[in-house]
A and B are shown apart, each in its own frame.
Chain A
Amino acid sequence: MHPPASAHRPFAARSLDWLRENLFSTPANALITLLTLALLLWAGSSFVSWAVLHAVWGRADVATCNALFGQGACWAVIADKWRHMLFGIYPQGEQWRSALAVVIFCAIIVLSAMRAFWHVWRLLALWLSGSLLCAWLLAGGFALTPVPTALWGGLPITLMLAVFGTLFAFPLGILLALGRRSALPIVRAASIVYIELVRGVPLITVLFMASIMFALFLPEGVSFDKLLRAQVAIVLFNAAYIAEIVRAGLQALPRGQYEAADALGLGYWQTQLLVILPQALKITIPAQVNSFIDNFKDTSLVIIVSIFDFLYAVRQAVISDLDWRHYFVEGYLFAMAVYWLFCYAMSHYSQWLEKHLSRDHRL
């Protein structure tokens, strides 16, 4: 922040002012600056030397990397294995389908972020058609070679778990939120028990339950797919968190909205669907985006029940290859970069949204 008077001073003088104000205002401040700078230079230079200057870039064989082990990063491991990392063991010739599914999932996420799509029917049409298209691309049938789910893997699975995990959890979450605020004691009790039970346990235990216990609850001989079981677990888990966000939105609405709907003679469902929910859901949009980010990160836990998601594929690609297994740091850093890109973009969008919405939609 420059005082306006300094605006027409020369650039060098203004820079000096800025430095004095922001970095060297007091002796203590100057000391902090120097210490931080020293730390940054030390850590930064060793990282740059490892990751850039001495690194092996592009396609190279293991021997080249081994010669530089410990001094330079071996990005060749990613050049060599990127297909396995991104798409797992999906048949090589069909991997364009996985890639297209990733593009469609990303398109769903980006389009939902646009105002033009913020209408229930448009959103529903977008998410349903996009999801169906991806499911068809991955599974095959109707002119495409069928691929069993056991071969699915990589980034499309991570995106699928996150997108389906929100799509199907949403209606359940809304019902639970309405149930928790219902005047009917049994409905309220059932909703509270479900929500608190799920929120009190870690996702891993729910995944364990889905992968081990589900089979015991079904009639003998009936079993369904491992991937589907993990997906159901994620949906059931997310629903409880979405319910609490929707409940916060419901509580934020003034009583007058309910009274006005009553005065118009609307019934319970008409009141909720036409008056309450459209407003309540709008308030909760930033929180929903944050919950989607958490959900996206949490999908990585499925590796514990051996589902072939993106993280599992990266890990598998590097660790299972005896030649390359020492270069897991590079592999994990690549995975981190991908996750980070998604989450950082979404969290910035959510922050922007929060500012934007609070400015022109004050209730």
Chain B
Amino acid sequence: MWSSERFRNIVYQIALLSLVGALIGYAAYNLVHNLESRAIAIGFSYLGQEAGFDVSETLIDYEPTHSYARAFVVGLLNTLFVSAVAIVAASVLGLVVGIGRLSPNWLLRKLAGAYVESVRNVPLILQLLLWYGVLTELLPPVAEAIVLGSAFLSQRGISLPWPTPHAGWWAALLGLFLAVLFAFLWARAVRRRRERAGRAPAVLWPSLAAGVVLPLAGWAVFGAPSELSTPAMTGFGFEGGKTVSPEFIALFLGLSVYTAAFIAEIVRGGILSVSRGQSDAAEALGLSRGQRLRLVILPQALRVMIPPLTSQYLNLTKNSSLAVAIGYPDLVSISNTTLNQTGQAIEAITLMMAVYLAVSLAISGLMNWYNHRVRLVER
């Protein structure tokens, strides 16, 4: 019987299964025992209790009297927000630096190379600590804030004039959204027309026009508000306007500058992977260097770039957890406070890991879908 491969395979797998099961069972037994002796109840009921701690930055309404569950959502939204903003900034900066590394200009090429080599060889957390230290210790205190027009730069971050809530501003935002939608649909219609008729109207100018006209129209129709709330110095900080905290700025700068170095290398690799003949052919057609890059090289390079780009976006999102080192209230930082207050370590850490896992899977799912869309269709 032992000489039968199938039998042996079944035995091996049962052995593995029972080993893993025994380990989990042993850990669970100890866990229950330990929690009993510390009088901690297992379960997620703590989420409904009053949190009692304040959070310095929130995207949704939050008070210390709200529940732990709401605090958790606040942390999650902060993580998603800073990751999304940093992903956009890192992509733009990475694209510029990556193209710069292949520039015919020697100086620009070397400068871009120096940026990549110096940034990616230093741990991110060290860069974050340096940004944060510079922003909070070396900038002047509130009373001596640097004045930039009606904005202020101080140890408390940047305080900017900000529109006071009014329907007109929301209408303008809606207009901007509609303009983006229009640009997207217009580009698609133009592409179809070009495929059918060979010639097609421009994409850029009508889209830009929509981007200006629609928000303006929304703003004007709903009462054309012009009231801005300008920050004013009070004893301890600023009243009015919008203050962006140094924690957020440090995290945003750190994440984008660091990830941009990796994205630049991906962009460079992607462009180099497009064969020389493509560029030569485009030049023979009379396209300028900018046009060659935009119309011929980048669309093909994108295909090679997407899988590594996905993992960089995932890295950035996971790296946003370093926020806890500089006190930005992200998912990890809020979970940490929660578990210190309630003692529900298992639940808080499990919940935090589960959410990161879900976000990671969502991002890679999205990028896989995009990758599938832009794949090379062989005819």
Interface, chain A (partner B; CB < 8 A): 22-23, 25, 29, 32-33, 36-37, 40, 183-187, 190, 197, 199-205, 208-209, 212-213, 215-220, 293, 297-298, 300-301, 303-304, 311, 315, 326, 328-329, 332-333, 335-336, 339-340, 343-344, 347
A-B pairs with beta carbons under 8 A, tally: 143
Query: Could you list which residues of chain B lie within 8 angstroms of chain A, going by C-beta atoms?
Result: 9, 12-13, 16-17, 20, 27, 30-31, 33-35, 37, 103-108, 111, 117-118, 120-127, 129-130, 133-134, 137-138, 318-319, 321-322, 324-325, 332, 336, 339, 345-346, 349, 352-353, 356-357, 360-361
Nearest A residue to B32, CB-CB: A216
How far is A25 from B109 in the complex, measured between Cα atoms in Å?
14
A36 touches B107 (CB 8 A): yes
Taking the closest CB of chain A, its distance from the CB of B179, in whole angstroms, is 31
- Which residues of chain A are near B125, meaning CB under 8 Å? 300-301, 303, 311
A346, closest chain B residue (CB): B121
The minimal Cβ–Cβ distance linking A296 to chain B, given in whole angstroms, is 8
Complex Cα gap A33–B109 (Å):
10
B105→A197 contact, CB < 8 A? no
For chain A, what secondary structure do more than half of its interface residues adopt (helix, strand, loop), or is it mixed?
Answer: helix
- Interface contact A36-B108, CB-CB below 8 Å: yes
Instruction: Say yes or no: B352 contacts A205, CB within 8 Å.
Output: yes
Q: Do B346 and A216 touch (CB < 8 A)?
A: yes
Q: Which of A37, A205, A328 has the most CB of B within 10 A?
A: A205
Of the residues A25, A40, A184, A300, contact of B123 by C-beta under 8 Å: A300
Which residues on B sit within 8 Å (CB–CB) of A347? 121
Q: Which residue of A lies closest to B356 (CB)?
A: A201
Closest 5 CB pairs of A and B: A343-B121, A22-B106, A202-B318, A217-B27, A200-B360
Closest to B318 in A: A202
Query: A212 to B17, alpha carbons, bound, how many Å?
Result: 27
What's the least CB distance linking A158 to chain B, in Å?
Answer: 10
Chain B interface, DSSP helix/strand/loop, else mixed: helix
A314–B323 Cα distance when bound, in Å, is 20
Q: Could you tell me if A304 and B122 are in contact, using CB atoms closer than 8 angstroms? A: no
The listed residue (A208, A300, A339) touching B121 by CB distance below 8 A is A339
With a cutoff of 8 Å between Cβ atoms, the chain B residues found around residue A215 in the complex are 34
- Look across to chain B and name the residue whose beta carbon is closest to the beta carbon of A205: B353
- In the docked arrangement, what's the CA distance between A335 and B16, Å? 45
Residue from B12, B121, B345 in contact with A340 in the complex, judged by beta carbons closer than 8 Å: B121
- A329, B319: Cβ atoms under 8 Å? no
Q: B126's contact among A187, A326, A335, by CB below 8 Å, is which? A: A335
| Known A303-B325, A329-B133; 16 more pairs at CB < 8 Å | A23-B105, A184-B9, A185-B13, A186-B13, A187-B16, A201-B353, A205-B349, A208-B332, A208-B336, A216-B31, A216-B35, A219-B33, A220-B30, A293-B121, A300-B123, A301-B125
A25 CB contact (under 8 Å) in B34, B104, B120, B138: B104
Give B141 Cβ to nearest chain A Cβ, in Å: 14
Contact across chains for A205 and B332 when beta carbons are under 8 A apart:
yes
**Shortest distance between the CB of B327 and any CB in chain A (Å):** 12
Residue of B nearest to A212 (CB): B345
Partner of A202 from the list B107, B117, B121, B319 (CB cut-off 8 Å) is: B319
- Please, could you name 13 A-B residue pairs with CB atoms under 8 Å apart, sorted by A? A23-B106, A183-B9, A184-B12, A187-B12, A213-B345, A219-B33, A300-B123, A303-B125, A311-B123, A328-B133, A332-B133, A335-B126, A344-B117
Whole-angstrom distance between the alpha carbons of A210 and B325 in the complex? 18
Cα-based distance from A87 to B339 in the complex (angstroms)? 32
A335–B245 alpha-carbon span in the complex (Å): 26
Contact between chains at A213 and B346 (CB < 8 Å): yes
With A and B bound together, what is the CA distance between A300 and B319 in angstroms? 13
Say yes or no: A33 contacts B107, CB within 8 Å: yes
Find chain A residues with CB under 8 A from B27 CB: 217
Which residue of chain A lies nearest to B125 when distances are taken between CB atoms in the complex?
A300
Closest A residue, CB atoms, query B103: A32
**Which residues of chain B are near A209, meaning CB under 8 Å?**
349, 353
B322: A residues at CB distance < 8 A: 204, 301, 304
Tell me, in angstroms, the Cα distance from A2 to B318 when the chains sit together.
Answer: 47
The residues of A that contact B37 with a CB separation of less than 8 Å are 220
Which A residues touch B107, using CB under 8 A?
23, 32-33, 36-37, 40
Q: Smallest CB–CB gap between B16 and chain A, Å?
A: 6
> Do the beta carbons of B356 and A200 come within 8 Å of each other?
yes
Residues of B within 8 A of A37 (CB): 107
Shortest C-beta distance, A1 to chain B (Å), equals 11
**Complex: A127 Cα to B36 Cα, angstroms:** 43
User: In whole Å, how far is B290's beta carbon from the nearest beta carbon of chain A?
Assistant: 10
